[in-house]
Amino acid sequence: MESTTFIAIFATIVTASTPLLFAAIGELVVEKSGVLNLGVEGMMLVGAVSAFAVSTGTGSPYLGIVAAIGAGGVMALLFGILTLTLLANQVATGLALTLFGVGLSALIGQGYVGTPATGLAGIQIPWLSDIPVLGGLLFQYDIMVYMSLALTAAVSWFLFRTRPGLILRAVGESHDSAHAIGYGVIPIRYMAVIFGGMTSGLAGAYLTLAYTPLWTENMTAGRGWIALALVVFSTWKPGRLLFGAYLFGAVTIGQLHIQGLGVAIPSQFLSMLPYLATVIVLVLISRDQLRIRLNAPACLGKVFHPSA
């Protein structure tokens, strides 16, 4: 394969993987703290439309990114109030967050359908971007790609190399013990949940600012749910999550290229591939029950009330 074609395909895989990585790395932190937020899809959509609206309104995609972080955080705060303060069922609340996010984003975005966005441009890094092949392969992306990779590394370091990270994991493993030692289970979970909302917002922003600089209703097309599956696939480990996100990016792009080549398979069947791959990956990872039980945070999805 010619190196330019290879670089082009690799670059599209990176852009398809980045939103999955953003959404999944945040959800990983949330789940490590013992909370299951199924509202990723809804938070992504609200983040996506906020980024789009602010970016077209101000002409600055960077302000769009900030808006998406804020919008995702507010959505997550709603989830936190319901599940952490008002002790609502996390599965039901997560579903509510997604249903609400689908409606709210459609309402905000209805004036923006069909208008182009001010998208993010790739950054040319002096010297590095000019290296033949390698420069094109690694040093020509927009800022959010680098952000997503840095964030993954930072989360890995935070969770497994710092004391606050240890406390967060302790809260997820046994909230009663953590509470007895004197750690604030609820405040820690609030912070984790809001962090997850912010990265979901970023994931949405990447879709409207870089992946397809347009707004369409429900444009996440299940990516929030795929991100949730990726967290299980990673067995809650950031390194494996990175691998998983890029694997799914490759599946998405692979099927698009096959469609582009004009292969005599109806496009709908190729479009199914990412969803079927998610199911297959879930099955492969879940069949080893011991591994899931050893790695899943023991308090995942359980309600915590200090008086109980």
Partner 1 sequence: MLLKLEARGQRSRPMVYLTPVLAIVLTLIAGTIMFAMLGYPPMQALQAYFIEPISSAYGLSELLVKATPLALIGVGLAIGFRANVWNIGAEGQLTIGAIFAGGIALVFYEVDSPFILPLMIVAGLLGGMLWAAIPAYLRVRFNANEILTSLMLTYVAILILSYLVHGPWRDPDGLNFPESRIFSDSAVLPVLLEGTRLHLGAVFALLAVVAGWVFISRTLIGFQVRVIGLSPMAADYAGFSQKAVIWLTLLLSGALAGLAGMIEVSGPIGQLLPTISPGYGFTAIIVAFLGRLHPLGILIAALLMALTYLGGEVAQIDMNLPLAITGVFQGMILFFLLAVDVLINYRIRIDWPGNRPAGEGQ
Region of 20 please: left (phi>0), alpha (psi -120 to 50) or beta: alpha
Helix spans in 33-122 (H): 40-58, 61-80, 90-109
Minimum Å gap between C-beta 177 and partner 1 is: 20
Site string for partner 1, 90-129 (x = CB under 8 A): -xxx-xxx-xxxxxx-xx--x-------------------
Using CA atoms, how far residue 75 sits from 45, 201, 283, in Å, is 11, 9, 30
Distance of CA 135 to the CA centre of its chain: 27
Least distance in angstroms from the C-beta of 163 to partner 1: 29
Write down the least CB distance from residue 95 to partner 1, Å: 6
When asked if residue 294 is in the footprint of partner 1 (CB under 8 A), the reply is no
In angstroms, the CA 219 to CA 275 distance is 15
x/- site string to partner 1, residues 260 to 279, per CB under 8 A?
------x-xx-xx--xx-xx
Which residue, 1 or 86, has its beta carbon nearer to partner 1? Answer: 86
Identify which of residues 43 and 145 has a Cβ nearer to partner 1 in the complex.
Answer: 43
Smallest gap from Cβ 59 to partner 1, in A, equals 25
In angstroms, give the least distance from the CB of 82 to partner 1. 5
Give the shortest CB-225-to-partner 1 separation in angstroms: 5
Nearer CB in complex with partner 1: 123/273? 273
Closer CB to partner 1, residue 141 or residue 233?
Answer: 233
| Residues in 64-93 at the binding interface with partner 1, rule: CB under 8 A | 78, 81-82, 86-89, 91-93
Does residue 25 interact with partner 1 by CB under 8 A? Answer: no
CA distance 41 to 26: 13
Binder of partner 1 out of 66, 125, 137, 221 (CB under 8 A) = 221
Cβ neighbourhood burial of 62 (10 Å; 0-12, 13-18, 19+):
middle
Report, in angstroms and rounded to the nearest whole number, the Rg of the chain calculated over CA atoms: 20
Task: Say how many C-beta atoms besides its own lie within 10 A of residue 28's C-beta.
Answer: 25
Cα(179)–Cα(186) distance, integer angstroms: 9
- Subset of residues 26 to 55 that bind partner 1, contact rule: CB under 8 A: 38
Nearer to partner 1, 99 or 121 (CB): 99
CB-based contact 193:35 (threshold 8 Å): yes
Cα–Cα distance between 228 and 44 in angstroms, integer? 12
* Through-space distance between the first and last CA atoms of the chain, rounded to whole angstroms: 63
By CB under 8 A, name the binding residues for partner 1: 38, 78, 81-82, 86-89, 91-93, 95-97, 99-104, 106-107, 110, 217, 221-222, 225-226, 228-229, 232, 266, 268-269, 271-272, 275-276, 278-279, 282-283, 286-287, 289, 292, 305, 307-308
